[in-house]
Amino acid sequence: MEWILLFVIGSSCYVIFKFIVNYFESDGTKFSNKIRLTLGWAIFLLAYGSYFYYEETTSIKDEKIYYVNLFEKVDGQKNYRVPAKIYKDEDGYKLSEIYWSNGGKLTFYNDYGDLKLGEKVQVTDDKNKDWYAELTKNEVKTK
C-alpha cells in the first residue's frame, strides 16, 4: 500500500513540475538544468513533507490512550466519553480496554470489526455486553 502511495505522490510531483516548466517556457523563458533540479526537489520535498505532516497529525499511534465515545447498545441515548487503550493489528485499530472515571476498567473483544474515526463500531466487553465505540483522534494527555 505504501508503494502505491509513494507512486501517486511521485507522479503528482512530476505533473506539477511539468506544468510549471511548460507554463514558463511557453513565454520563451528557458530553465537551466540546475533550476529544473532545484524546482523538482522543492516540489518533491513540499509534497512529501505535507503528506508526512498530515499523517503524523491525524494518525492513531499504537498502544496510546485516546478518548472513545462509548454507547450502550440497548439504550443508544446513554453514552460516555472515556479514555481507551487502542492498538493496531494487521487489519486496523482495535479497542483493548476503557477506563472509567471511578478507577474501573472494561476489556473488549474485537469480533465485529475495526475502529474507524468518527464511526460507531460494535464491540463486546469481557462481560459479554455489546457496545458501540466511536474512535476520536483526541489523545489523552497524561502527566
Q: What does the block give as the cell for 139?
A: 489523545
Which residues span the domain enclosing 95? 64-139
Same domain, 47 and 71: no
How many separate domains does the chain show?
2
- What's the pTM value of the predicted model, to 2 decimals? 0.59
Same domain, 80 and 132: yes
Shared domain for 33 and 96, answered yes or no, is no
Q: How far apart are CA 33 and CA 28, in angstroms?
A: 16
Residue 71: pLDDT above 60? yes
Q: 26 by DSSP, 3-state: which? A: coil
Distance of CA 65 to the CA centre of its chain: 15
Is residue 93 very low, low, confident or very high in pLDDT (cuts 50, 70, 90)?
confident
54 and 90 in a single domain? The answer is no
For residues 53 and 111, membership in a common domain is answered with no
29: left (phi over 0), alpha (psi -120 to 50) or beta: beta
pLDDT at 118: 80
Helix (H, G, I), strand (E, B) or coil at 71: strand
Residues 47 and 69 grouped into a single domain: no
Q: Within the chain, where are the H helices?
A: 2-25, 33-58
C-alpha to C-alpha distance for 91 and 106, rounded to whole angstroms: 22
Same domain, 53 and 69: no
Last residue of some domain: 24, 39, 58?
A: 58
C-alpha cell at 53: 505532516
- Per-residue pLDDT tens for 5-58? 778 888 999 999 999 999 888 888 888 899 889 999 999 899 888 888 877 766
φ and ψ of 131, to 5 deg:
-135, 165
